[in-house]
Amino acid sequence: MFSPQTIIEILADNVRKTRNPFGLNKTGLNSWWKNSNVNQTGDTLLFTGLMYQLVPYIKATTKYLEKYEDTPKADYIRYGKRIPKPLVNLGLKIISSKEDKKYFNTLLCNIVKILRSSDVSFAYNPELDEYSGVLLYDMGDQESFVTHAEYVANKLQDAGIRKLITVDPHTTYAVKVLYPKYTGISFEVQTYFELARLKGGDSSSEVTLHDPCFYGRYLELADGPKDLLTGLGVSCDPINTSGAFTSCCGGPAESISPKLAEEVGKRRVAELQATGRPIVAMCPICLANLQKAGAEVEDLSSVLVQFVS
Amino acid sequence: MTKITPDFAEELKKYGDDTALICFNCGTCVAICPLVSESFPRRLIRYIQIGARDRILENADDLWKCLHCGLCTQTCPRAADPGEVILSLKRFTVANWRKSYNV
Ligand code: SF4
Ligand code: SF4
């Protein structure tokens, strides 16, 4: 386990300086939309919160951190003065995989195709798409979270945005629940799957859904993907640990303890694999952590895009 | 020996809802928590109830093992919201660290 204090201060400092937790240049981080011919103006904004884009960096950082966990070198990270160079600007000097970046970008392109095929009119303006700050909130750095959330909420409000279409549970929770509570600024928020209107094919496949904690419990949205898939002919009988009683993928622990994240992830994978059906996730953190724990997992958008005409 | 801070629960109100005092220590949250570590989160909630402020600060790193998954809150029979209590303790600890930098 690493010192939460050090990790929190690095993340908060990065968010303060660059508006994302890894200190990355946004132009390089957020490039998925370039070939999607997106309309940039309108008051309904596709708001990714940069989560899918950040996952390749999270994976690379975790891989780096796990080499040092519970070794004497973990103390380098505790005593800031001797932090190994690549961790000074988490992510900046870490070589994240090109394949990963391409993969996670494709998932966002899938979502655009799903929305278009469902006749949803929306804009995507990369300038307005920002990280929500939700990790700072989860880590208990309330002051840094609120400062960042106010920046993002004001920026969206000043640009005339009224409605946000979200793609992951953490960002959805942040903009739907936390922003009104802590910034006083509200938007109408819906996830892309709530807006999806796709037509079923003659599919008769079966999948097992991994409901993320934030859709299953905090936002009570787990029925959405299940009903959508069922309507398309994809059977997804819920397992015992789903919906409000879903089990965590372990992902949230990865910055503090990659070992713990893996241990919890493996337990969840065993529950999901017991059905023998292909596993589908709907959060980039869950997707990456369950894959890392040894499961073959697809993103919901990859399943839905097959029904795009 | 543990120093007792009787108004600790009061101090914590700044950092979140004060539901810790309604916990009746049944341990349901411990049974369901994916961390399967010793009496987590119940033990920390008990520390709040008895005012063991220093104990919490001494063991603060453990708080960040919590995944904020919400299962304990979902199953708590007293609606004591243990997951959010842990989050409040994280906020309290971060605020304490920050105060100490400014001393
Ligand atoms: S489940 Fe609720 S009442 Fe029972 S020990 Fe945990 S917090 Fe207390
Ligand atoms: S929210 Fe934290 S304490 Fe509660 S069950 Fe999940 S990991 Fe355990």
pLDDT tens, B84-95?
999 999 999 999
Selected residue with higher pLDDT from A96 and A249: A249
Ligand 2 atom showing the smallest separation from residue B29 Cα = 5
In angstroms, the CA A176 to CA A214 distance is 12
What does the pLDDT read at residue B24? 97
pTM for the complete prediction? 0.95
Q: CA–CA separation, A70 vs B65, rounded Å?
A: 15
Per-residue pLDDT band for A183 (boundaries 50, 70, 90) equals very high
CATH number for the domain whose boundaries are A198-307? 3.40.50
What's the order of all strands across the beta sheet hosting A163-166? Answer: A44-47, A163-166, A188-191
Classify residue B90 as left (phi > 0), alpha (psi -120 to 50) or beta.
Answer: alpha
pLDDT tens string A30-54: 999 998 999 999 999 999 999 999 9
Instruction: Name every chain B residue with its beta carbon within 8 A of the beta carbon of A169.
Output: none
Strand partners, A280: A209, A298
| Nearest alpha carbon to residue B66 among B46, B87, B48 | B87
What is the C-alpha separation between A48 and A131, in angstroms, rounded? 8
Residue A80 has pLDDT above 80, yes or no: no
Q: How many CB pairs under 8 A join A and B?
A: 69
- Name the band, by pLDDT with cuts 50, 70 and 90, for residue A158: very high
Classify A235 as helix, strand or coil. Answer: strand
Among A67-71, A75-79, B38-42, the range of highest mean pLDDT: B38-42
Is the pLDDT confidence value at A76 over 70? Answer: no
**A263 pLDDT higher than 60:** yes
C-alpha–C-alpha distance, residues A232 and A37, integer Å: 27
Q: With an 8 Å Cβ cutoff, is B91 touching chain A? A: yes
Instruction: Give contacts of B98 with chain A, Cβ < 8 Å.
Output: 143
Query: Residue B78 CA: which ligand 1 atom is closest?
Result: 3
Q: In A159-237, which ranges are continuous DSSP H helix?
A: 169-173, 179-183, 192-195, 213, 223-231
Say what the alpha-carbon torsion angle A152, A153, A156, A159 is, to the nearest 10 degrees: -110
CA atoms within 13 A on the CB side of A308: 18
Nearest CA of chain B to the CA of A104: how many Å? 23
pLDDT of A87 reads 53
Task: Report the alpha-carbon distance of residue A207 to residue A229 in Å, rounded.
Answer: 9
Rounded to the nearest angstrom, the distance between the alpha carbon of B37 and the centre of ligand 2 is 11
Average pLDDT across chain A, whole number: 91
pLDDT of residue A84 exceeding 70, the answer is no
List the domain boundaries for chain B.
8-102
Q: What is the band of A79 on the pLDDT scale with cuts at 50, 70, 90? A: very low
Q: What's the CA gap between A93 and A107, in Å, rounded?
A: 25
Sheet holding A208-210, edge to edge: A208-210, A279-281, A297-299
* Domain chopping of chain A, boundaries: 4-194, 198-307
Classify residue A21 by its DSSP letter. T
Is the predicted pLDDT of residue A286 greater than 90, yes or no? yes
Check CB contact under 8 Å for A1 and B61: yes
Q: Which residues of B touch A139 (CB under 8 A)?
A: 64, 90, 94
B45 lines ligand 2 (CB under 6 A): no
What was the pLDDT predicted at A82?
Answer: 39
Interface residues on A facing B, Cβ-Cβ cutoff 8 A: 1, 3-5, 8, 138-143, 213, 217-218, 244-245, 247-248, 250-253, 256-257, 260, 264, 267
Q: Would you state the pLDDT for residue B51?
A: 96
Percent of chain A with pLDDT over 70: 91
pLDDT by residue (tens digit) across B18-76?
899 999 999 999 999 998 777 999 999 999 999 999 999 998 999 999 999 999 999 99
The b-or-e profile of A220-231 (16+ CB within 10 A means b, else e) is ebbebbbebbee
Average pLDDT over residues A123-127: 98
B22 C-alpha to center of ligand 1: Å? Answer: 9
* Average pLDDT, integer, range A228-241: 94
